[in-house]
Amino acid sequence: MYQSLKKIIKGFMPSGFLNKNETLLRSCIAFFYKGGTYQCNLCGFKLSKFVVTENFGSICPKCGSISRNRRLWTLIKDTLKNKKVLHFSPSHSLKEQIQKANTKEYITTDYLGEFQAMKKLNIEAIDEPDNYYDVIICYHVLEHVAQDRKAMQELYRILKPNGVCYVQTPFKEGDNYEDNTIVTEADRLKYFGQEDHLRIYSVSGLSNRLQEAGFKIDVLDYEEDAKNVLGFLKKESVIIASKN
């Protein structure tokens, strides 16, 4: 229903209006999902069901948040006060909450102009000082980066001692899968799962690479939660990379 409602609304409203009024549009769609079984922990909306998609799992119809954003929020929400936070490729719903979290400094960054952000930083050569950020969010970024080892060294460099970098990418079982001869969009989609992905990491493969860059690694592996009020993916892993 979510997709057909979106289609109907897009059919009779000009796109400029829609971009400016996304919040209004979402509120209209969310009306049909109102209920008391589930709740989005980012916008607070209580709903009868989430919008379920194949690629992203459950989407909140009101704020557009996906599982990984809601899960990350449960991890970081009480840790951000007076912290300097750098957020790569920031989703709108998560960004809105972090902006209200009394951080000391909150910088959002995007390289390819796909997300609304304050700075354009190249993760392979980050134009930020050493030992600066307390918290870095680097979700679904590294699989797009050619020199990913360099990027990890850069993340380590700008993270403060005792700082924490939250890392996630799509994951596979076993080892990382990487092949520099796979270069066309069609092949990348076929072998890496998306046209602009350059590899698929495994949790252990990415953890090892982050360790090589100097990070200490903790992995949080989530399994299905029977109640699942917050609409999380059945399985999800988050890598917590910290600096001593």
Tell me the Cα Rg of the chain.
19
Q: How many CA atoms lie within 13 A of 196 on its CB side?
A: 7
- By CB under 5 A, residue 65 contacts Zn ion: yes
Nearest 5°: CA angle at 229, between 223 and 235?
20
Written as one letter, the residue type at 129 is P
122: its two tokens: 């190249």
Smallest gap, in angstroms, from Cβ of residue 30 to Zn ion?
8
Of 40 and 117, which has the nearer Cβ to Zn ion?
A: 40
- By CB under 5 A, residue 63 contacts Zn ion: yes
Smallest gap, in angstroms, from Cβ of residue 174 to Zn ion?
34
- By CB under 5 A, residue 72 contacts Zn ion: no
* CA–CA distance, 78 with 15 (Å, rounded to integer): 37
| Alpha carbon 154 to its chain's center | 19
- By CB under 5 A, residue 108 contacts Zn ion: no
Strands 51-53 and 57-59: antiparallel
Smallest gap, in angstroms, from Cβ of residue 139 to Zn ion?
17
- By CB under 5 A, residue 47 contacts Zn ion: no
Smallest gap, in angstroms, from Cβ of residue 51 to Zn ion?
11
- By CB under 5 A, residue 91 contacts Zn ion: no
Strands 216-222 and 236-242: antiparallel
Query: What string of H, E and C letters represents the secondary structure of 115-132?
Result: CCCCECCCCCCCCCCCCC
Interface region with Zn ion, contact rule CB under 5 A, candidates 52-60, 167-175, 207-215, 224-232: 52-60
Helices (H), 159-239: 185-192, 203-212
* CA–CA distance, 156 with 158 (Å, rounded to integer): 6
Read off the DSSP letter of residue 188.
H
Smallest gap, in angstroms, from Cβ of residue 100 to Zn ion?
14
Interface region with Zn ion, contact rule CB under 5 A, candidates 1-9, 64-72, 154-162, 202-210: 64-72
Q: What are phi and psi of 27, to 5 degrees?
A: -65, -35
Interface region with Zn ion, contact rule CB under 5 A, candidates 16-24, 36-44, 137-145, 195-203: 36-44
- By CB under 5 A, residue 43 contacts Zn ion: yes
Interface region with Zn ion, contact rule CB under 5 A, candidates 10-18, 37-45, 170-178, 194-202: 37-45
- By CB under 5 A, residue 62 contacts Zn ion: yes
- By CB under 5 A, residue 207 contacts Zn ion: no
Of 38 and 171, which has the nearer Cβ to Zn ion?
A: 38
The only residue of 25, 47, 59, 60 in contact with Zn ion, by rule CB under 5 A:
60
* Residues within the interface to Zn ion (CB under 5 A): 40, 42-43, 45, 60, 62-63, 65
